[in-house]
């Protein structure tokens, strides 16, 4: 009997890579999709025809209970979130509802459907395993470098605060009800499917367009910010491995190498024979109210206990993204259409 997985956030970057990975392992995969006529659903359905869909929204408890009940999954991957950090200052309440309380709603849905009693902690039906998408953004003002599972959390954005709630409530359901719930504390991971609002993709798209003479300048914010950037395709393997362990546990996932936004721009422009300094301008409006300056993962526990290793390094990643955007941009010279078709 093949295993059944339910993925929230199926229309996002990680949802697509994880679905492909699980289908490749022989899973049956359902994606939770929200909204009426969500255009991103058509895009993912076209990319991965083997996917099934179920309606639901992390804002709606009943819809999650129905979805879990309908799918009867062995594994739930809760990737759904408002994932762009700056939006969390614009709409902090909404981000808290989706990224924080939404996690609680999903855990409740799993608890109810699997018959875990609030009083006895006894399990009714089979055990459903839950993966929660925690984030290095929870470390915020970093207490130590590199960051590991035990590093003190000091989030610097409403996004990070909401993710911290999701992280602890997952652990709490594990301790309260014996639920198999784990959090992957994932550092930044990118790909040609990354949203255009995130800095690496913003750079790769701009480089492709500048190379093709479609634009000339790229505005960026804090060039000194440093991140531990990896490839999304590598990171979804770690999500799956976490749910295969005998004992549930939380793991940091990252490459252990740190680069600045300036490095990202330099590598991307150099790849097409351009000088980044001639094209990048700093826009103070893009600097955040509170910044996370440096993030670097100590993923030694994931390497040791999960046997996980990243395969793509930062330079390869930036070049892969630029190449993909160059191919798409030369086919589709209208910028808005470029954004909607790129890499999918």
Which of 132, 136, 137 is CA-nearest to residue 242?
132
Is the CB of 85 or the CB of 218 nearer to ligand NDP?
85
Is residue 227 near ligand GDR by the rule CB under 6 A?
yes
Q: Which residue is nearest to ligand NDP (CB)?
A: 12
Is the CB of 59 or the CB of 215 nearer to ligand NDP?
59
What are the structure tokens assigned to 252, written together? Answer: 């940091």
Choose the contact partner of 115 out of ligand NDP, ligand GDR, none; CB within 5 to 8 A by kind. Answer: none
Could you tell me the end-to-end alpha-carbon distance of the chain, in angstroms, rounded to an integer? 31
Is residue 83 near ligand NDP by the rule CB under 6 A?
yes
CB of 332 to ligand GDR, least distance (A): 22
- Per DSSP, helices labelled H in 144-303 are 158-177, 199-211, 232-242, 261-271, 300-301
In the list 59, 70, 241, 343, the residue contacting ligand NDP (rule: CB under 6 A) is 59
**φ/ψ (deg, to 5) at 69:** -65, -40
CB of 211 to ligand NDP, least distance (A): 25
DSSP state of 187: P
Which of 103, 112, 101 is CA-nearest to residue 182?
103
64: enclosing H helix or E strand: helix 61-71
Is residue 99 near ligand GDR by the rule CB under 6 A?
no
Residues 65-84 that bind ligand GDR (CB under 6 A): 83
Choose the contact partner of 12 out of ligand GDR, ligand NDP, none; CB within 5 to 8 A by kind. Answer: ligand NDP
Which of 132, 96, 130 is CA-nearest to residue 111?
130
* Spatial strand order in the sheet of 129-135: 52-55, 28-33, 4-8, 75-78, 129-135, 181-186, 251-253
Is residue 12 near ligand NDP by the rule CB under 6 A?
yes
Q: Does 8 qualify as catalytic in the annotation?
A: no
Is residue 141 near ligand NDP by the rule CB under 6 A?
no
Residues annotated as catalytic (active site), given as ranges? 164
Q: In the complex, which residues of this chain contact ligand GDR (CB under 6 A)?
A: 83, 85, 135-137, 187-188, 197-199, 202, 220-222, 225, 227, 261, 286, 288, 291
């Amino acid at each position: 009997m093949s295993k059944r997985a339910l993925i929230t956030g199926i229309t996002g970057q990680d949802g697509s890579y994880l679905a492909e990975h699980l289908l490749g392992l022989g899973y049956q995969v359902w994606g939770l999709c929200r909204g009426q006529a969500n255009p991103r659903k058509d895009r993912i359905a076209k990319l991965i025809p083997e996917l099934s869909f179920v309606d639901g929204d992390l804002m709606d408890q009943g819809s999650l209970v129905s979805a879990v009940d309908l799918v009867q999954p062995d594994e739930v991957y809760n990737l759904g979130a408002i994932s762009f950090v700056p939006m969390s200052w614009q709409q902090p309440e909404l981000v808290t509802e989706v990224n924080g309380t939404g996690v609680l709603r999903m855990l409740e849905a799993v608890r109810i459907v699997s018959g875990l009693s609030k009083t006895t902690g006894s399990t009714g039906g089979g055990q459903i395993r839950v993966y929660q998408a925690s984030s290095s953004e929870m470390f915020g003002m970093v207490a130590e470098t590199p960051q590991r599972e035990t590093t003190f959390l000091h989030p610097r954005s409403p996004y990070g605060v909401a993710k911290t709630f999701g992280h602890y409530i997952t652990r709490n359901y594990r301790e309260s009800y014996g639920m198999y719930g784990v959090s992957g504390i994932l550092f930044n991971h990118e790909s040609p499917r990354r949203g255009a609002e995130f800095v690496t993709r913003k750079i790769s798209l701009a480089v492709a367009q500048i190379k093709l003479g479609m634009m000339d300048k790229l505005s960026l914010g804090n060039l000194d910010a440093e991140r531990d950037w990896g490839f999304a395709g590598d990171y979804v393997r770690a999500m799956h491995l976490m749910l295969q362990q005998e004992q549930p546990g939380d793991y940091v996932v990252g490459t252990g190498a740190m680069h600045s936004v300036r490095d990202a721009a330099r590598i991307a422009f150099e790849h097409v024979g351009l000088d980044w300094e001639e094209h990048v301008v700093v826009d103070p409006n893009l600097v955040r109210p509170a910044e996370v300056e440096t993030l670097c993962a100590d993923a030694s526990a994931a390497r040791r206990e999960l046997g996980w290793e990243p395969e793509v390094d930062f330079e390869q990643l930036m070049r892969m993204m630029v190449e993909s955007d160059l191919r798409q941009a030369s086919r589709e010279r209208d910028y808005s259409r470029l954004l909607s078709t790129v890499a999918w």
